[in-house]
Amino acid sequence: MKIYGDERSGNCLKVRWTCDFLGLGYEWVEVLALTGATDQDWFRALNPAGQVPCVQWPDGRVLAQSNAIIWHLAETSSLIPTDPFARAKMLEWLFWEQYSHEPYLAVRRARIHLMGLDPASLDPALLSRGLAALKVMDTTLNAQDWFSGADFGLADIALLPYTRFAPQGGYDLAAFPAVTRWIGACERHLRLQALVAATL
């Protein structure tokens, strides 16, 4: 399996970390999203939506959308609960991450950390909505240890990268102690310290 991804993208790291956790082999094909590589014809032929990550199997099948990919890779693993309602609650967090978390935390981090823009030039809603998302996470983590039910699982992997990278977007995690504890716990599960440091 080939993973087409940009290693600075949290969406792409979700796929790598899921594979690493499950011991699935892959070839990583680096695609620099910010330089327009995902708009090129060869990439659009692979994924018409023009987005990384996407994965391709040797028989030609292609799957896109980070959370759909990791769901498929992990479907029969311990990362997804077997109880239907617990599974649906995990899916709830995966959709929340893409709609109410990533569009603020990832976008502000990309503009500041990857594109070098002045924070003062950015839409203030990126900051306020990102902080609101972190507050939802912190409140949740005061009542439960994980976003995936009783144990560490796929929703934790999905929420980790852009939460971990939040300080690069100017978000102060000191105001969210439960989130900070959860990041450390996730990293211990994924044995990620070296890998995360390498991608900062």
* Binding test (CB under 8 A) with a second copy, winner from 28, 37, 51, 170: 51
- Angstrom distance (rounded) from CA 146 to CA 141: 7
State which residue, 31 or 70, has the beta carbon closest to a second copy. 70
- Angstrom distance (rounded) from CA 78 to CA 162: 23
* Binding test (CB under 8 A) with a second copy, winner from 36, 40, 83, 99: 99
Binding piece for a second copy, criterion CB under 8 A, among 63-71, 109-117, 144-152, 186-194 = 63-71
> Which helix (H) or strand (E) is 20 found in, with range?
helix 10-22
Q: How far is the CB of 55 from a second copy (least distance, A)?
A: 10
Contact flag: residue 39 with a second copy (CB under 8 A): no
Binding piece for a second copy, criterion CB under 8 A, among 15-23, 34-42, 45-53, 165-173 = 45-53
- Other Cβ atoms closer than 10 A to 147: 26
- Angstrom distance (rounded) from CA 33 to CA 26: 20
Contact flag: residue 83 with a second copy (CB under 8 A): no
* Binding test (CB under 8 A) with a second copy, winner from 34, 95, 128, 150: 95
Q: How far is the CB of 17 from a second copy (least distance, A)?
A: 18
- Angstrom distance (rounded) from CA 195 to CA 76: 25
Q: At what angle do helices 84-96 and 66-74 cross, to 10 degrees?
A: 150
- Other Cβ atoms closer than 10 A to 3: 21
Torsion from C-alpha of 143, 65, 99, 90, nearest 10 degrees: -20
State which residue, 100 or 195, has the beta carbon closest to a second copy. 100
Chain contacts with a second copy (rule: CB under 8 A): 48-49, 51, 61, 63-69, 71-72, 75, 84-85, 87-89, 91-92, 94-96, 98-100, 102-103, 136, 139-140
